[in-house]
Amino acid sequence: MIAPLKPELPHFLLIGFGAVGQGLVPLMVQALGIVPTRITAWAADLQGEAVAQSVGISLRLQPLTPDNHAALLDAHLRPGDVLLNLAVEVSSLDLIAWCQRHDVLYLDTGIEPWPGGYQHGQGLEQTTNHWLREQVLALRQADRATAVIAHGANPGLISHLAKRALEQLAQDQGLSFTPGRWAELAQSLDVQVIQVAERDTQTDHRPIAPGEFRNTWSVPGFISELSQACEAGWGSHETALPSGAKHPSGKSPDSIYWLHPEHSLTQVKSWVPTVGDSLAWLVTHNESISLAEFLTVRDAQGQLQYRPTVYFAYQPCPPAAQSIAHWLHQHKQAPAVQHVIPLVHLQEGQDELGVLLCHRTGAYWYGSTLTLQAARHLAPHNSATTLQVAAGIVGALAWMLDHPRAGITEAEAIDSDQVLAVALPYLGHVGGTHTHWHPGPDGRFQHFIAPFIASPTP
């Protein structure tokens, strides 16, 4: 435990106090020594009131909108304070712009638009994570307050685990490498595909009714992801785009996006240590784009030499998987009942979150396996899922407080040793497993994509 921060140190404003916010505050206190009276949360509902009282922070019903956010933040925050955007559909772009103008530090766990920002009517490309990320990166200026973007578990922590995984694979293969040259290392290891491969088995063992959606983290947040286009960072070894896929306009073809099948979702073949060969949903995530870009190698003339294909292959918890089946049967209509599974109802399970580095002779999975039981022991108000997210946030916060003038910063640019030193105690078992698993004769995307199924049976 680090010594408590000094009284003149910042005030922390959390926008959103749902599953992630409630799990985070105990870690801000426990891992960083932040005094709870320095933390305020604003939310669009007061469902977290009992937790706010128990952890000793003030929670206010204060929904932010495009029209009110600037005046509210003006009145509450001073230079040097820290704003954490942990809400669904509160614009990262607008909050970052405000923070950069007012010298306030900022962190979010994903780049979000205001409500309506994911509706396809405005143009599909404008709803992609690629596009949302480009808007934020365009605000970058030198010598500005630090704004850490997209830093929870995934996106976020997973990019630090990816660096560790590459180092470990090199060591296991007896390959020498220059520390810090991650892209060249991935190229030398011939890593063609990186799946962020996550399997959540936490369950309350209660059946899902039609029109109900339950999950271990935000239901509206997950439904937004499922409603966005699929996306992948697009590897230099790929030869054919998936059906209907496009590259974003106006840039080198570093990623692709395409629509899920009308009444279903795109499935991919995946591998995780506990079950091996398995099927997962391909869900769009910021790290698919940022990690692929970070691991790109170009020659002196700027010609592309190497990039892995990167995407998120997700096996959500059993209640969420059943909820998805109902949602697909109801043609993706918004579920009438949506909620995060109350922590007291969760009975067992774990979150297995890692990178699967697919190379010529097999694959290497490296990540965190955290059981519900271990999460409960490590910190109050957390499931295994939220604790992995909160661990990523406090790791990045520790780095941010030491580097307050770094401007807009992505996970890949942050010192992984510092983040992991803070996060590792909360991640359960962290390690790697080699496998000969390979879904096809080579690492092209077409061998990973699973046969289309109209929709699973609820």
The closest of 436, 226, 222, 189 to 341, measured between CA atoms, is: 222
Q: Is 154 in the site for ligand NAD (CB under 6 A)?
A: yes
Total binding residues toward ligand NAD, as defined by CB under 6 A: 32
Q: Is 354 in the site for ligand NAD (CB under 6 A)?
A: no
- Closer to ligand NAD at the Cβ: 341 or 358? 341
Among all chains, which residue has been given the structure tokens 């002196």? 300
Q: Is 366 in the site for ligand NAD (CB under 6 A)?
A: no
The binding track of 407-426 with respect to ligand NAD, each residue x by CB under 6 A or -, is: --------------------
Question: Taking the complex as a whole, how short is the minimal distance between the CB of residue 157 and ligand NAD, in angstroms?
Answer: 7
User: 385 with 428: CB under 8 angstroms?
Assistant: no
Residue type, 136: V
Q: For residues 283 and 302, give the distance between their C-alpha atoms in angstroms, rounded to a whole number.
A: 30
Among all chains, which residue has been given the structure tokens 């000094």? 6
Question: Taking the complex as a whole, how short is the minimal distance between the CB of residue 317 and ligand NAD, in angstroms?
Answer: 12
Residues 195-224 that bind ligand NAD (CB under 6 A): 217-218, 220-221
- Closer to ligand NAD at the Cβ: 68 or 173? 68
Question: Taking the complex as a whole, how short is the minimal distance between the CB of residue 60 and ligand NAD, in angstroms?
Answer: 10
Task: Return the residue of 2, 4, 37, 45 that touches ligand NAD, per CB under 6 A.
Answer: 45
The binding track of 96-135 with respect to ligand NAD, each residue x by CB under 6 A or -, is: -------------xx-x-----------------------
Q: Which stretch binds ligand NAD (CB under 6 A): 42-50, 130-138, 184-192, 342-350?
A: 42-50
Task: Return the residue of 10, 12, 15, 427 that touches ligand NAD, per CB under 6 A.
Answer: 15
* Number of Cβ within a 10 Å radius of residue 164: 18
Q: For residues 401 and 226, give the distance between their C-alpha atoms in angstroms, rounded to a whole number.
A: 34
Q: For residues 204 and 342, give the distance between their C-alpha atoms in angstroms, rounded to a whole number.
A: 9
Q: 113 preceded by cis ω (within 30°)?
A: no
Task: Return the residue of 90, 256, 295, 390 that touches ligand NAD, per CB under 6 A.
Answer: 90
DSSP H stretches of helix in 295-329 = 318-329
Task: Return the residue of 13, 29, 32, 43 that touches ligand NAD, per CB under 6 A.
Answer: 43
User: Cα angle at 195 between 194 and 198, to 5 degrees?
Assistant: 145
Tell me the two tokens of residue 222: 């997950």
User: 51 with 183: CB under 8 angstroms?
Assistant: no
User: 290 with 110: CB under 8 angstroms?
Assistant: no
User: 208 with 328: CB under 8 angstroms?
Assistant: no
Q: Which residue of the chain is nearest ligand NAD when measured via CB?
A: 18
Q: Is 18 in the site for ligand NAD (CB under 6 A)?
A: yes
Q: For residues 150 and 300, give the distance between their C-alpha atoms in angstroms, rounded to a whole number.
A: 30
Task: Return the residue of 13, 64, 149, 397 that touches ligand NAD, per CB under 6 A.
Answer: 64
- Closer to ligand NAD at the Cβ: 154 or 192? 154
Task: Return the residue of 25, 27, 29, 44 that touches ligand NAD, per CB under 6 A.
Answer: 44
DSSP 3-state of 240 = coil
Question: Taking the complex as a whole, how short is the minimal distance between the CB of residue 297 and ligand NAD, in angstroms?
Answer: 27
Question: Taking the complex as a whole, how short is the minimal distance between the CB of residue 456 and ligand NAD, in angstroms?
Answer: 23
Question: Taking the complex as a whole, how short is the minimal distance between the CB of residue 161 and ligand NAD, in angstroms?
Answer: 12
- Closer to ligand NAD at the Cβ: 94 or 415? 94
CA-CA distances (angstroms) from residue 435 to 5, 65, 174?
45, 48, 17
CA atoms within 13 A on the CB side of 384: 26
Question: Taking the complex as a whole, how short is the minimal distance between the CB of residue 360 and ligand NAD, in angstroms?
Answer: 30
- DSSP characters over 203-220: B---PPPTTEEEESS-HH
The closest of 303, 304, 268 to 288, measured between CA atoms, is: 268
Among all chains, which residue has been given the structure tokens 């697009």? 234
Number of H helices, E strands in the chain: 14, 20
Question: Taking the complex as a whole, how short is the minimal distance between the CB of residue 62 and ligand NAD, in angstroms?
Answer: 7
The closest of 339, 371, 335, 367 to 354, measured between CA atoms, is: 367
* Number of Cβ within a 10 Å radius of residue 119: 12
- Closer to ligand NAD at the Cβ: 15 or 186? 15
Question: Taking the complex as a whole, how short is the minimal distance between the CB of residue 432 and ligand NAD, in angstroms?
Answer: 20
Tell me the two tokens of residue 75: 């009145």
Task: Return the residue of 87, 111, 145, 310 that touches ligand NAD, per CB under 6 A.
Answer: 87
Q: Is 341 in the site for ligand NAD (CB under 6 A)?
A: no
Residues 389-408 that bind ligand NAD (CB under 6 A): 389
Sign of CA dihedral 384, 386, 389, 392: negative
The binding track of 289-328 with respect to ligand NAD, each residue x by CB under 6 A or -, is: ----------------------------------------
Question: Taking the complex as a whole, how short is the minimal distance between the CB of residue 63 and ligand NAD, in angstroms?
Answer: 4
**Footprint of ligand NAD (CB under 6 A):** 15-21, 42-45, 63-64, 86-90, 109-110, 112, 152-156, 217-218, 220-221, 340, 389
